[in-house]
Structure 1
Amino acid sequence: MKTKLIDRLRPLMLGAVMLSGAVHAAVQPLDSVVAIVDNDVVMKSQLDQRVREVEQTIAKRGGGTPPPGALDQQVLERLIVENLQLQIGERSGIRITDEELNQAIATIAQRNGMSLDQFRAALARDGLSFEDAREQVKREMIISRVRQRRVAERIQVSEQEVKNFLASDLGKMQMSEEYRLANILIPTPDGANSQAIQAAAGRVGDIYQQLKQGKDFGQMAIEHSASENALEGGEMGWRKAAQLPPEFAKLLSSMAVGDISQPLRIPSGFLIIKLEEKRGGSESVLRDEVHVRHILIKPSEIRSEAATEQLAEKLYDRIQNGEDFATLAKSFSEDPGSALNGGDLNWVDPNSLVPEFREQMANAQQGQVTKPFRTQYGWHVLEVLGRRATDSTEQAREQQALTVLRNRKYDEELQTWLRQIRDEAYVEIKLPGADQAAQ
């Protein structure tokens, strides 16, 4: 099935659906304010544009069109939270330069396998102007930087946390299968009484029965879920078991792709999970390493480039005539990190070296001394002493564990922070039929 470009554009950003690019350009006839959000407003035209986009997303998934007005409150809440983050970005002085924006647009076009002109044409076919796309990307970049400053930068993971995680049952599962999930969250208020909990349980039970009868999961998430990813059909993306609450790990291990879990009771309400895909497993991670030594000669104020090259050539000739490489390195090499060791760099990862050095090293046979060559550091003569493939599985596992723990903390902290800024903001909803709220 052919996918519109705008559907391929969204995952490259934060996952938020587009705001209307024409909101500030001109006041449309019969437009009105549907929410006052601190020092800004959400307009009816903006809400209508977003609702249309969500409805198009539902249609592309093959789901039925929700009843008129069914999405308004859900979409409006998303717009309010986005608006608050953009205001924080404005107050914090976050600015996206034209150069940064142009680079982001070029990257998106490249990832879609297009030139900039092809990208413009594809946007036009999808009914979106290039200017609107630039504004969309700019907003997403601002929100991303706001979240980086307010949430991501505060997250710290210690070495001990990594070790404890890898020693835990969930940590041991880290190298096992990875899951692509979707969810539907039916919330319960803090301190909810038994009546409220029973009402939520009844609602989630009804949703579960509809899903079992064939209702589209994505559509049901858009219409009913209270999670941040609701408007994306509940899509959570790929998750390791360790990134999920512990009780979910056992459940997922027994589910097949396409299965839908029974409603699960969690502190914030009730959750239904769909297992979309599985992938991965435990594999050894091998890294190529080279044992190499070199002599570095640097040009200076008292030694010209030509004289430096000439000295390197003389040292190369002396090695070829039988003189000891290590002895010459100790006497002449100007690399302070290796000269005293006879020029020995020990075992190195080729990817950590500058391209010219890496290329010469790759082309040299073991035991071969290269002719002098130039890098940004000066003139080199090198010898490859050995090659090996090192098992770096443990280092890879530690890095994966660090990423998982940071992602878990980020997800938790982000939800808490989003609720906090929403609760602390002055919000007055003027959408007909919606509950009025002011703070």
Structure 2
Amino acid sequence: MKKISVFLILIITLLLSETSYSYENFIIHKINNEIITEYDVKKEANYLRALNPNLKNLDILKLTKLALNSIVREKIKKIELEKNNSLGENLDDPMVLSTFESVYKNIGIKNEDEFEQYLKKFNISIKWTKMKLEIESLWNSLIYNKYRNQVSIDKEEIRKSLKKDIKLRKTQKKILLSEIVIKFNSNQDFLSLTKMIEESIAEIGFSNTANTHSISGSANKGGKIGWINQTSLSPKILTEIKDLVNGEYTKPIKIDSNFLILKIEDSVITNVQIDLEEALNKRILNERNKQLDQFSTIFFNRVKKNIIIDG
């Protein structure tokens, strides 16, 4: 009952006018020594809406739940990172700046000044945004350094598959992809899980379903992966998407212990000479990133088990 009451109070206060601050310091969760207040959740909801304009169509209950889950994930990562990092001192790091730039370009903004003006509409500062992206960047570095030697890629097998694929191809297709990654365990009913995801997509759209249910790092961006050369994708993925048209998405694809749903947002075909080595490197990078994402989920769940979450 306590959890239900806390969440109801949070919803009610978020529905009040923005001039009401009665509960803005009301503590919703405590993650070890890190606290999450009603104000934090409201600010996180604004941040998520800023980075994914599609969230404006999400009802307040789902947006609040999404924001709360987003903060909890960030706090857990922050606690782990603070063991070996001084957060707030890496805002000018090239990796952080690169992540920062990709975020605002992803929503069609040209430069930092324009992004700063845009964020002001949501009562968010540039520095606060960079601090959040610093956590994501450092977390990705941690995962890379920790697991890079465990990434297993058969370069020659990929080269052989790629050569075969290129021989059959006189054109190159680029695809704008979005994803939903669903964690699945043996205690769940696959058909019920699939039905729930499909009903969510039908009700609130693919992007908002990714925000709400996906465990991938792309979740906060509505599942957006970006433009991918078709030759960069694995044969398994190519088989699943080859008959799809723009706007359609795949059935769940089994990837290790998770399921992946891919949507083709857009695509273009060009007549080009495909560079084998360039295509090979891109496919290897894509496979490496996929494996690192899986390691990230595994490590995050391990860290979470050692953290006390109250509320």
TM-score normalized with structure 2 length: 0.70
Task: Choose the corresponding residue for 1:232, options 210, 221, 237.
Answer: 221
- Name 1:87's counterpart in structure 2: 79
Aligned-pair Cα RMSD in Å: 4.2
- Name 2:278's counterpart in structure 1: 396
- Name 1:74's counterpart in structure 2: 66
Task: Choose the corresponding residue for 1:199, options 192, 201, 204.
Answer: 192
- Name 1:40's counterpart in structure 2: 34
- Name 1:339's counterpart in structure 2: none
> 1:73–1:125: structure 2 CA closer, same or farther, 3 Å change rule?
closer
- Code of the residue aligned with 1:254 in structure 2: it is D
Q: Deviations over 1:167-219 (max 9, x none)?
A: 1369846995342222345543x2215xx3343243234346x26xxx53223
Please report how far the alpha carbon of residue 134 of structure 1 lies from its aligned counterpart in structure 2 after TM superposition.
Answer: 1.2
Please report how far the alpha carbon of residue 66 of structure 1 lies from its aligned counterpart in structure 2 after TM superposition.
Answer: 3.1
Secondary structure in 2 matching 1:261: coil
- Code of the residue aligned with 2:187 in structure 1: it is A
Please report how far the alpha carbon of residue 83 of structure 1 lies from its aligned counterpart in structure 2 after TM superposition.
Answer: 1.1
Please report how far the alpha carbon of residue 125 of structure 1 lies from its aligned counterpart in structure 2 after TM superposition.
Answer: 5.2
Secondary structure in 1 matching 2:300: helix
Please report how far the alpha carbon of residue 162 of structure 1 lies from its aligned counterpart in structure 2 after TM superposition.
Answer: 1.5
Aligned 8 A contact 1:241 1:248 in 2: no
**More helix per residue:** 2
1:306-385 equivalences in 2 (<5 Å): none
1:9-408 equivalences in 2 (<5 Å): 29-30=22-23, 31-55=25-49, 60-61=53-54, 65-97=57-89, 100=92, 108=101, 118-119=113-114, 122-123=117-118, 126-128=121-123, 132-152=125-145, 154-156=147-149, 161-168=154-161, 172=165, 176-188=172-184, 190-192=185-187, 196-207=189-200, 210=202, 216-239=205-228, 246-264=235-253, 268=257, 271-279=260-268, 283-284=272-273, 393-408=275-290
Separation in structure 2 between the aligned mates of residue 55 and residue 255 of structure 1, nearest angstrom: 29
Secondary structure in 2 matching 1:257: coil
Please report how far the alpha carbon of residue 150 of structure 1 lies from its aligned counterpart in structure 2 after TM superposition.
Answer: 3.3
Secondary structure in 1 matching 2:36: strand
> 1:181–1:47: structure 2 CA closer, same or farther, 3 Å change rule?
same
- Name 1:419's counterpart in structure 2: 301
- Code of the residue aligned with 2:218 in structure 1: it is N
Secondary structure in 2 matching 1:155: helix
Separation in structure 2 between the aligned mates of residue 273 and residue 103 of structure 1, nearest angstrom: 27
Q: Report the structure number with the largest CA radius of gyration.
A: 1
Separation in structure 1 between the aligned mates of residue 32 and residue 283 of structure 2, nearest angstrom: 40
Q: Deviations over 1:134-167 (max 9, x none)?
A: 1321331243123213334531499982222111
Separation in structure 1 between the aligned mates of residue 241 and residue 67 of structure 2, nearest angstrom: 30
Please report how far the alpha carbon of residue 406 of structure 1 lies from its aligned counterpart in structure 2 after TM superposition.
Answer: 2.3
- Name 2:14's counterpart in structure 1: none
Consecutive unaligned residues in structure 1, runs of 5 or more: 1-27, 286-392, 431-439
Aligned 8 A contact 2:177 2:226 in 1: yes
Tell me the matched-pair count: 282
Highest RCO, 1 vs 2 (Cα 8 Å, sep ≥ 6): 2
Separation in structure 2 between the aligned mates of residue 273 and residue 113 of structure 1, nearest angstrom: 27
Please report how far the alpha carbon of residue 238 of structure 1 lies from its aligned counterpart in structure 2 after TM superposition.
Answer: 3.3
Aligned 8 A contact 1:96 1:138 in 2: yes
